[in-house]
Chains A and B, each alone.
Chain A
Amino acid sequence: METILAFVIGLLFAAGVYLLLRRSIVKLILGIMLLSHSINLLIFTAGGLHKGNPQFSDTVMEAGLSNSTDPLPQALILTAIVIGFGITAFFLALMYRFYQVTGTEDLDELKEGDTK
């Protein structure tokens, strides 16, 4: 299971980086979203995966905790998802405003801001 997830993480990360490097700001946002999902999965996998009992049930308490997954990474991911959601919402609003003001969604148009 870890191996499959490792490949999924790698794939998501690669796709995210590819989208980040595109010229369109929509793809930039999609790239950030994919990256954040891949990182969430990374934390999930790093916490260790066990097929077995649900957390905090009586059977787990009796059988000992060794056969169950650590719940903390899932709590971390939950926090990270919420933060990521807020940021995506902000970024989408920023994109809309950017399009309204500049009339473009091409990131190459941003270059002149650097030189002047």
Chain B
Amino acid sequence: MILPALPVLFPLITIIFLLINFQRREWQPWISLTGSLLQLMLAIFILIRVKHEGILVLHTGNWLAPFGITLVMDAFSSIMILLAGIIAVSISIYSFEAIDRQRQSFFYFPMVHGLLMGVNGAFVTGDIFNLYVWFEVMLMASFVLITLGGEKKQLRGAVKYVTLNLVSSLLFLAGIGLLYGKTGTLNMADLALKLSIADNNILINTSAVLFFVAFSIKSAVFPFFFWLPASYHTPPVAITALFAGLLTKVGVYAMIRFYTLFFVQDKLFWHPLFLWIGGFTMVVGVLTAASQYDMRKILSFHIISQIGYMIMGLGIFTVAGVAGAIFYMAHNIIAKTNTFLVAGLINRVTGSYDLKSIGGLYKVRPWLAILFIIPAFGLAGIPPLSGFFGKLILISAGFSAGEYVISFVALAVGLFTLFSMVKIWNEAFWKARPENSDPFKGENGKLPVSMVLPVAFLGLLTLTMGFAVRPILDFAMDASMQLLNPGPYIEAVLGNNYLSQ
């Protein structure tokens, strides 16, 4: 069954087509869009297959697990692949106009698909060293994207971004080395099996801590987040939106995968730690956001704050908690990308991201206000939108698991998020335009359809997720159940012959 390899192959083929036609500049966005659309369709197909047939496994090169590299597709991976496909399509359309010619001719589109290849690879792999390789693929593409254009502030942000991410990769690699030394295997399912029968499995905590720090840096969790607000606001907004939607979530994905599948021995240590870290991440992110006046910086700090909710779901560690984390992640990827794209639209109209110098947008562009309201209030958790249900599931899971403190923190942080979003709304749309400000650059021009379309599409998805909670939550529950009972996963990867030995 080749299906699990296709999410990696599709972006690769797109890159090849992009490079073959590199001289035809006007074709590039269209090839990219076609590739992304195919990827989205593939993701939907995979989701249906996983729903009906359970876990799909591909042993590459016919080397059976645990010896070869295994690609595994369970419910959690297929959800993430679908989200990556949605973001790929949106960013492809948005980049038609939003990315200038010069950046497009410097390998912008091939790099976007390189990033998607790395992200998809990280979602499908069932082997920890392979995961490291996909992380590096993703990082290399993101390094190029964040420096593309070579502006001064971009290079400044990039030095921090590159250094911190490299250190995290090295720690990840050290964790792999030590874990391999202790267990003699790299396959995730085999690790789960070996660690569940080992006597002194407390010793693996050395690796577990290394992995924890590595993934925390990647997902910008509380003590390790400083690189994110220093770098994410520097590149063009389409790139920031792509990073905000996907990159940090890959770290969270890896953390959820590792700490539900095989680092489950020392629950008394890890789960309270996750709750603490999640709480601090939420609070610090949202409070630092409150002091900012650059739209992109406010939104960047909110990325951090919302990662906290996902870590909290992992820390609660019940079926409802992990399902809440998955649901929240799905909502956040869509809504977060969307808020950045809207910030790009606002910049297109006003020529600025600085809230102090813009205002009175509602008079000029009432529709833009509505497009902003949907993802922003979604993030803040206003009822019929998706964020409300994400938080509701997480907080009710917290209460029923007896974790009252973190649940109250989560509620309070929701309030502060609302405050930030209302602040952007107030400053950009509602207040009178500052008197001595320059006239808006693009006030009278029409907004390009290619930029409004993905925003509307993602907004529609946020609304749909809010109105169709039941089926999505059911699937998140399935994924969560699969994660918390790794038996079928292990059996699907290793096969009955290996287990009976």
* A contact residues vs B (CB 8 Å cutoff): 20, 25, 28, 32, 35-36, 39, 42-43, 45-48, 70, 72-73, 76, 79-80, 83, 86-87, 90-91, 94, 97-98, 101-102, 107, 110, 113-114
Contact = CB atoms under 8 A, between A and B. Distances in A.
B393 interface: no
Contacts of A102: 152, 155-156
Contacts, number: 91
B150 interface: yes
A79 B139 CA distance: 16
Contacts of B21: none
Contact of A43 (B151, B152, B177, B184): B177
B166 interface: yes
B129 interface: yes
Nearest to A99: B155
Chain A binding surface SS class: helix
Question: Could you say which interface size class chain B belongs to?
Answer: 35 or more
Contacts of A114: 229-230
A48 B144 CA distance: 37
A42 to B, nearest CB: 5
A28 B230 contact: no
A42 B158 contact: no
Given A101-B150, A101-B152, A39 B166 contact: no
A110 B230 CA distance: 10
B159 A107 contact: yes
Contacts of A47: 177, 180-181
B491 interface: no
B173 A43 contact: yes
A98 B177 contact: no
Interface string B147-175: 10011110111111011001100100110
Given A42-B178, A76-B176, A113-B157, A83 B166 contact: no
B133 interface: yes
A26 to B, nearest CB: 12
Contact of B162 (A46, A83, A86, A94): A94
B17 interface: no
Contacts of B234: 113
Contact of A101 (B140, B155, B170): B155
Given A39-B177, A97-B147, 18 more contacts: A25-B159, A28-B163, A36-B170, A42-B174, A45-B181, A46-B180, A48-B181, A70-B184, A76-B177, A79-B129, A90-B140, A94-B143, A94-B158, A97-B150, A97-B155, A101-B152, A107-B159, A113-B230
A24 to B, nearest CB: 12
A82 to B, nearest CB: 10
A32 to B, nearest CB: 5
Nearest to B229: A114
Given A110-B160, A113-B230, A39 B180 contact: no
B403 interface: no
